[in-house]
């Protein structure tokens, strides 16, 4: 984490880092911790908290819907934990609209949790969509909570793009054989959203571009 002596009162921007399974969100968030100051706060993935806590995953429709409702509420509460921190940017590992990409059944997620798609899209200032790897040999299965095959991950990635369609500030980061270049592109978007008072003198993560 870079030093920052800024004491300005910030207008917090809520920024989503999204993408299908294996897109590299966790790695980019860790790099963000190294390159940005304390006024760029990072939030963990709500689904990881829910499923890491052994929420049932038996494949039944009622259970899958219950999981998405739980993830939605955990996401909202996670975002509330940084209120009052004077963050310039809150970098979220997914946002509430992501849940609609995983929702199944005749109903929709928004009516199930008492909100609307428009309201949820409006919560976020920008969306960075990291695309799932195009080739199976670049798809990482090291995460024990990841159950999707490469083909399933690509399908989810398309549904996530649809979930965020209509948002005015979606930044698409394509799949790449060079992950560091992909990460640098995503971090460059975050850099542009960080106010000048909280930027370090250089952008070391962009040296390879």
All domains of the chain in start order, with CATH? 13-201 (3.40.50.300)
Share of the chain above pLDDT 70, in %: 87
Directed axis angle between helix 179-193 and helix 25-35, to 10°? 50
Residue-wise pLDDT tens digits, 31-44:
999 889 999 999 99
What would the DSSP string read from start to end of the chain?
-------PPP--EEEEEE-STTSSHHHHHHHHHHHS-TTEEEE--HHHHHHHTT---S--HHHHHHHHHHHHHHHHHHHHTTTTS--SEEEEES-GGGGGGT--SSS-HHHHHT--HHHHHTT-SEEEEEPPPSSGGG-----TT----HHHHHHHHHHHHHHTTT-S-EEEE---S-HHHHHHHHHHHHHHHS-GGG--S--GGGTT-
Whether the model pTM is above 0.85: yes
Residue-wise pLDDT tens digits, 145-162:
556 677 787 889 999 999
Band of pLDDT at residue 208, cut at 50, 70 and 90: very low
pLDDT at 124: 98
Q: Which has more pLDDT, 144 or 43? A: 43
Cβ atoms of residues 9 and 118 within 8 Å: no
User: For residue 72, which phi and psi values (nearest 5 degrees)?
Assistant: -60, -50
Asked if the model's pLDDT at residue 139 lies above 70, the reply is no
Residue-wise pLDDT tens digits, 7-31:
899 999 999 999 988 788 989 999 9
Band of pLDDT at residue 137, cut at 50, 70 and 90: very low
**What is the spatial distance between Cα 25 and Cα 21, in angstroms, rounded to a whole number?**
9
pLDDT at 104: 94
Cβ atoms of residues 175 and 140 within 8 Å: no
Cβ atoms of residues 85 and 65 within 8 Å: no
Asked if the model's pLDDT at residue 67 lies above 60, the reply is yes
**What is the spatial distance between Cα 151 and Cα 56, in angstroms, rounded to a whole number?**
23
**What is the spatial distance between Cα 47 and Cα 4, in angstroms, rounded to a whole number?**
31
Cβ atoms of residues 94 and 78 within 8 Å: no
Residue-wise pLDDT tens digits, 51-61:
999 999 888 99
Q: Which residues contact 8 (CB under 8 A, 6 or more apart)?
A: 195, 197
């Amino acid at each position: 984490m870079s030093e920052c002596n800024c004491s300005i009162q910030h207008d917090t921007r809520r920024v989503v880092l999204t993408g299908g399974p294996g897109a590299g969100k966790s790695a980019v968030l860790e790099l963000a911790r190294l390159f940005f100051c304390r006024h760029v706060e990072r939030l963990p993935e709500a689904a990881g908290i829910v499923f890491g806590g052994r929420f049932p995953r038996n494949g039944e429709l009622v259970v899958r819907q219950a999981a998405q409702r739980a993830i939605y509420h955990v996401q909202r509460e996670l975002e509330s934990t940084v209120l009052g921190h004077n963050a310039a940017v809150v970098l979220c590992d997914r946002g509430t609209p992501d849940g609609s990409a995983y929702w199944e059944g005749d109903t929709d997620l928004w009516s199930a949790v008492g909100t609307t798609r428009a309201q949820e899209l409006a919560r976020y200032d920008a969306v960075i969509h990291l695309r799932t790897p195009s080739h199976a040999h670049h798809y990482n299965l090291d995460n024990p909570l990841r159950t999707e095959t490469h083909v399933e991950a690509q399908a989810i990635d398309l549904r996530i793009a649809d979930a965020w369609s209509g948002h005015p500030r979606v930044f698409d980061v394509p799949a790449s054989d060079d992950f560091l270049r992909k990460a640098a592109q995503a971090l460059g978007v975050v850099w542009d959203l960080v106010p000048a008072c909280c930027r370090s003198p250089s952008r070391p993560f962009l040296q390879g571009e």
